[in-house]
Structure 1
């Protein structure tokens, strides 16, 4: 067995690690909006707008991705959400992602796009559904 074949055996585990860690970071953005945890400076005080929708998608979508339930459709929605977020909030500030603080939005967008095609990997509730 070649080294590439041996390492390929761990692909579902690596995909699960990517899915789980991405979800935990994504959820954190929502908990910051809703619960001010971790503390934001300044805290979000009015969520009866697009930030409330964003927080909802971050918490609920992040939890679904975390447990690997409805991974592909959820990742599809979150991928689009992150693309819209980038072009609405970050791109108008500057063309360069490092200057407009949109690095995370771009990364989330493409990780979610990958999950649409790759699926959830190991340790996912989707693997138990028939």
Structure 2
């Protein structure tokens, strides 16, 4: 009995992790592309730049993850994006094994959360789950 209850709670927690992580990533993208929330560093961002491309992936991918649609492939792509963001944007600012020193903690954390979601899926509170229920 405890085992099945634990499985249900684990699956619900997976959905919550996906939703919260997607919402936080989405804010990175909207700050780059739309200036909200405002981050001065992105004031004159060119959309057709590496950071602009990251913003597009963050908005599109974050939105898809938020609703749980195509979760596994989207999370895999975003995991790669965040790995690149760390090594391109943060690792060069300090010893790469200590992300605290180069302000890369969130990139590393997002990278591994999205890699986990690519393996684990979206959880029960997702459009992916609703689509698979509809096929059954």
Please, what TM-score do these two structures have when normalized by structure 1? 0.93
Q: What's the counterpart of residue 76 of structure 1?
A: 76
* Post-superposition offset of 1:34: 1.2
1:60-75 to structure 2, matched below 5 A, reads 60-75=60-75
Q: What's the counterpart of residue 92 of structure 1?
A: 92
Most deviating of 47-56 and 34-43: 34-43
Matched, 1:117 2:116: no
C-alpha RMSD over aligned residues: 1.3
Gaps spanning 5+ residues in structure 2: where? Answer: none
Higher relative helix content: 2
| Greater RCO, CA 8 A, separation 6+ | 1
Partner of 1:46: helix, strand, or coil? coil
Please, what TM-score do these two structures have when normalized by structure 2? 0.89
**Count of aligned pairs between the two proteins:** 129
Gaps spanning 5+ residues in structure 1: where? Answer: none
* Post-superposition offset of 1:5: 4.8
Q: What's the counterpart of residue 49 of structure 2?
A: 49
1:9-48 to structure 2, matched below 5 A, reads 9-47=8-46, 48=48
